[in-house]
Structure 1
Amino acid sequence: MKRHQETVEAVKKYIESNIDDAVSPDDAAKEVNYSLRQLNRIFSFSTGITVSEYIRWRKLVKSLFELKYSERPVIDIAVKFGYESQESYTRAFKENFALNPGEYRKTKQQVRAKNWHINQFIHQSAHSALNEGLFRFGNVDNWIIVKPDRIFISARRNTENLPPGKFYDICMEEGIMSKIGSLPNVITICGAYFPSKDNSGLCFGAEVEGNYPIELLREFEIIHVPQSKYVVFNYPKYPIENHGDAIYSTWHAQKKYDYTAQGLQWNLKKMPVFENDDDELGYILFFPASDMSVENESV
């Protein structure tokens, strides 16, 4: 099973590296020295879909982001992602997203496909959109709060030093998000950046009250987080394909925030940064701060 999974991951990596070219299922099979029939058996066993479906749906989702963030004509986007004509592309787009490419480009309304895999691809592409320069600025609210003593439950550390989006995708694939979500009285399921010298500071877990019953947390790493001020930056509720917009806008707003005007400074040496992507509240960044009266911290 492990060898087959490695083959599937190698095929995915090959397809992603060549998604903008005329990559085909046969190309993918040759890359790993399998016949297409053999590869489809392995790929479908591991993912539930064939190599052809993977390529077709990944290209459709990539085209969605091109429509949203570029000014390229629809026909050019259709050809780029392997459609024979604008009409065939429009049919595929409407079949999966219930509106045609022109309507989506004009309205920018949220799309949600009936196909589970396509929605997963949208989520993955939203994570990678930042690296491809696909984002736009949006409005970010901010305010100051004080968090009391908390316990952060770390279910997984980013010891591989993966990009945050990829790290969170793996946490979902490994069932870690579901495991954390089953705990009672969790305040927030989130990622947290803890001060770290070995680049393993990013953790995924949850925040609970400081007096949470420790006996319920025996299988997790427990990190006590003392009371601290936080500046909260919030990009309000948004469609998933705007994930790049939300992340970039929020972190940009944090960098531009005038801490000095509020009598504050960063407090990164002692306190973690929390981030949470909430279906109702949007993307939220909790950035630790301390009063200027405290010994200055290098930023």
Structure 2
Amino acid sequence: MDWLARMNDALDYIENSLDEEIDYKEIAKAAHCSEFHFSRMFSSISGVSLSEYIRRRRLTRAAFDIQKSDIRIIDVAIKYGYVSSDTFSRAFQKVHGITPSQARNNGVQLRAFPRISFQISIKGDTEMAYRIENLDFELKIAGKSKPVKTSRAFKAIPTLWNTAKKDGFLQQLKDMSWENPKCKIEGILGVCGKEAAITDEEFSYFMGVRYDKKAPAGMEPLVIPASTWAVFPNVVDAWQRLYSEWIPTSGFELANLPCIECYYGPKHKPRHELWVPVLPK
């Protein structure tokens, strides 16, 4: 399966670069995927963030180097990207529970985090409803951008919306969203990674509505080019299954654009959808 081979190619690049500077763009390139989507895909499937995985693999290799040779601790630290022996020692102790110098002693217990490999897993006992939407016009959106830590996204984003409800911003978006309906992506929008790029630790979450006029005071504009979208009901379920179940077998690739969470008004069914930019293979 092409998808499986590409994901493992990305892991090969990481493994071969643990003692060098790792370029996240090159990881995504090996997977034939955007940085934004690869980072989310990796953490969704593996259960650990990309940066944390790299950190664990480097510190696993560092422990092997220390035990197998008389290499200086500072040289090991530099080899695996640490600027000082102190920062390396703290990171090493956090993972292994002992200091690098203690790791030289016979009989000490260390923790090895093995390399991840992606394999086919038998799933799909529950169907995933979806549809394909082709929007042949630019999506012009007005709203506000907020930083979100990737590891806390599922908790942080509802908090952002609760705050928007309390301070009146959500009502302002509702009033704007029904002024001039144009397509099926009407409603309150949460754009995940407005620059279509994501750092491993943090991304921008843009809260807004489709709006063709000039963005009101206090808001900023966001324009997303015409694209094809795979649309899934139920945002939470879609996020949980998108990367591990739908993408590998869909015949589509992820486009280098952000995903959009769309929350509709009362009585609309479904109440919310996840819009995912895609390209046919």
Fold shared, TM-score > 0.5 on shorter chain: no
Q: Report TM bin, short chain.
A: 0.3 to 0.5
* TM-score normalised by the chain length of structure 2: 0.38
Q: TM-score, normalised by structure 1?
A: 0.36
